[in-house]
Amino acid sequence: MNAAHARSNIGAIDAAHHMHPFSDMKKLNADGTRIIQRAEGVHIFDNHGKKYLDGFAGLWCVNVGYGRKEITDAVMRQMNELPYYNTFFGTTTEPATLLAEKIISHAGPRFSHVFFTGSGSEANDTWFRMARVYWKTLGHPEKKVIISRKNGYHGSTVAGASLGGMKWMHEQGDLPIPGVVHIGQPYWYVEGGDLSPEEFGLRAAGELEEKILELGADKVAAFVAEPIQGAGGVIIPPSTYWPEIARICKKYDILLVNDEVICGFGRLGTWFGHQYYGLEPDLCPIAKGLSSGYLPIGGVMVSKRVADVLINEAGDFNHGFTYSGHPVCAAAALENLRIIEDEKLVERVRDDTGPYFAKAWKSLEDHEVVGQAESVGLMGGLQLAADKTTRRRYAKPEDAGVVVRNHCLKNGLVLRATNDRMLASPPLIITRAEIDELVTTLRGGLDHLRDTMP
Ligand code: PLP
C-alpha cells in the first residue's frame, strides 16, 4: 500500500490493527475513530481540517501548548548528540541529572531526589516499592499496606490500577493486589447528604483514621491521593479535608504520597498541587506536564526523609526502567520547564488566567442543568444535575456527560466527561478570549442537554 493510499485509509487500518486504551473497540470500529493530524497553540486539527479548542490539553498534559519549536529543537540536538543511554550501573547523562536538579528546585527544600520513569503509572509502581523498602529498612517489615481512595486514578499497571479506586478497572485482572485498601472520596455533591461541605470533608478524611485503626498503624505504610482527583471527575475536596488528612498521617506516622501527575507543573497555579494545599508529602509521582507530553517521561520526587533511608541505609534499590532518565525525553522536559519558567506560566495561572477561568466557569452555575461548577487554577469540574435544587442526578449519569461532550465536540471544543461531570484542563497558555470561547461553547452543550434529556 502506498503512503497516500494508506493515509486515506487510516480508519479501516485502525479498525483492523490498532487496539485503543480505555475504549469499547467494537463501538469504536463501528463509529469510526477521529484522526488528529496536527496542532498549534491550544488548537488541534483533525484529518478533515476541522479545528478544535483543546480544553483538555491532550490528556491533562500539554501545559505549554502545541507547536513549541524550542522543544523540537532541543530534542533534535539531543538526538544527534546522544539518542540513548541508560542511568543504570553507575552511569548518568547530562540531561537526566540536570532535570532532577531543576525539578527539585521547584519542589522545595523538603525534597532532594528524583527517580525517573517512563510514565505516571511506572512512577506509582516505583514509590509503592520505595515506601515498603523504607519501612522495612527501618525495621518495620509489616508496615506495608497502602491506603488509597475509591475513584482515585493512579495508572494502568497492576500496581497503578490497584492503587486507583476504579471498580471497573479492578474487575479486569482480579485487582487490587494484596496490601492495597481503599477509603471513600471527598465527593460532597453526590455523597455529602445533609452535611455541609466542611462537615463532609472532615467525615471523608476521618475514614482514613478509621481504616488505620482497623488495620493497626504498625501495618500501614502510606496513604496516596491526588491533590485534586482528576480522572475521577475533578473532585475538589472541601476546605477541611486536606488539613485533617495531614494531621492523621502525622499522628500515625504514615507516609503521605501526593500523586502530582496531573496537578504538577502549574495546573493549580503553583508548581505542585501539594503546595496549593500546604501539604508536606514524602513521595510524589510526576509525569504529564513534566514534558508537556512532547515525549514520555515521569518520575518520583523523593523527600529527604525517604531518600536518606533509601540511599544511606537500604543498599541497592532493585528497580528501574530501560528508559529511566532517557536523555532525549529529559532534554524535552528541561526545555519545557524552561518555557514554563521564562513565560511565568505558573504565575500567569495563579494571578491572571486562573482567576479569570474561575469566574467564567462559576458563571455556568446559573444554568438549569448545572449543580456546581468549581475550579482551581486551570482545572475545572462541573456537576450536571437533573434537579439542582435537590442535587438529584440523571437516571443514567454517564449519558448526560456524553451528550454534553459530543455536542461540544461537534462545535469545536474538546472536553472530557466523567459520568455526569464535565472536566476542563486546558493548556496553561490559554488566553482570556479562548477561555470565553470554551465557556460559551460548553454553555451550548448544556442547553442541548436541557433540551434533549429530561
Ligand atoms: N496518576 C494520575 C493522577 C493520572 O491522572 C495518571 C494518568 O492520567 C496516571 C497516574 C498515570 O499516568 P500514565 O498514563 O502516564 O501512566
Domains and CATH numbers, the chain: 10-67+344-452 (3.90.1150.10), 70-343 (3.40.640.10)
Beta strand residue intervals within 100-158, DSSP E: 111-117, 145-149
- Residue 157 alpha carbon, nearest atom of ligand 1: 16
CA–CA distance, 431 with 184 (Å, rounded to integer): 36
Q: Which of 261, 294, 379 to probe ligand 1 with, by most ligand atoms within 8 A of CB?
A: 261
Q: Is 418 helix (H, G, I), strand (E, B) or coil?
A: strand
SS3 436: helix
**E strand segments, 217-332:** 220-225, 255-258, 283-286, 298-303
The phi, psi pair for 453, rounded to 5°, reads: -125, 110
pLDDT at 8: 76
CA-CA-CA-CA torsion for 103, 106, 109, 110, nearest 10 degrees?
-70
Point out the ligand 1 atom lying closest to the alpha carbon of residue 288. Answer: 15
Please report the atom of ligand 1 found closest to the CA of residue 226.
3
Q: Is the CB of 258 under 6 A from ligand 1?
A: no
Residues in a beta bridge with 220: 145
**How does DSSP classify residue 231?**
T
Q: Give me ligand 1 centre to Cα 273, in Å.
A: 15
Residue nearest to atom 13 of ligand 1 (CA): 120
Q: Does the beta carbon of 209 sit less than 6 angstroms from any atom of ligand 1?
A: no
Tell me, in angstroms, the distance from the centre of ligand 1 to residue 228's CA: 13
Q: Are 345 and 395 in contact (CB under 8 A)?
A: no
User: How far apart are the C-alpha atoms of 451 and 404, rounded to whole Å?
Assistant: 11
Residues 6+ apart with CB under 8 A from 110: 280, 281, 303, 304
Pocket probe for ligand 1: among 122, 288, 321, the residue whose CB has the most ligand atoms within 8 Å is: 288
Interface confidence, given as ipTM, is 0.99
Closest ligand 1 atom, residue 121 Cα = 16
| Amino acid 6: pLDDT | 60
Q: How far is the CA of 252 from the centre of ligand 1 (A)?
A: 28
**Helix (H, G, I), strand (E, B), or coil: what is residue 141?**
coil
Task: Render pLDDT for 292-351 as a digit per residue (tens, 0 to 9).
Answer: 999 999 999 999 999 999 999 999 999 999 999 999 999 999 999 999 999 999 999 999
Q: Which regions of the chain are under pLDDT 70?
A: 1-7
Q: Whose CA is nearest to atom 10 of ligand 1?
A: 154
C-alpha of 345 from chain center: 18
Q: Which residue has the cell 505504610?
A: 221
Residue 355: cis peptide before it, omega within 30 degrees of 0: no
pLDDT of residue 47: 94
Q: Alpha-carbon distance 276 to 260, whole Å?
A: 12
Q: What's the pLDDT tens digit per position in 209-256?
A: 999 999 999 999 999 999 999 999 999 999 999 999 999 999 999 999
CB crowding 151-172: b at 16 or more within 10 Å, else e: bbbbbbbebbbbbbbbeebbee
Q: What is the Cα–Cα distance from 405 to 193, expressed in whole angstroms?
A: 28
In short, whether 260's Cβ falls inside 6 Å of ligand 1 is no
Radius of gyration of the chain (CA): 22
Under DSSP, the state recorded for 114 is E
C-alpha cell at 258: 501526593
160 CA → ligand 1 middle, Å: 8
CA 448 to ligand 1 center in whole angstroms:
31
Residue 353 DSSP class: I
Residue 2 has what pLDDT?
Answer: 59
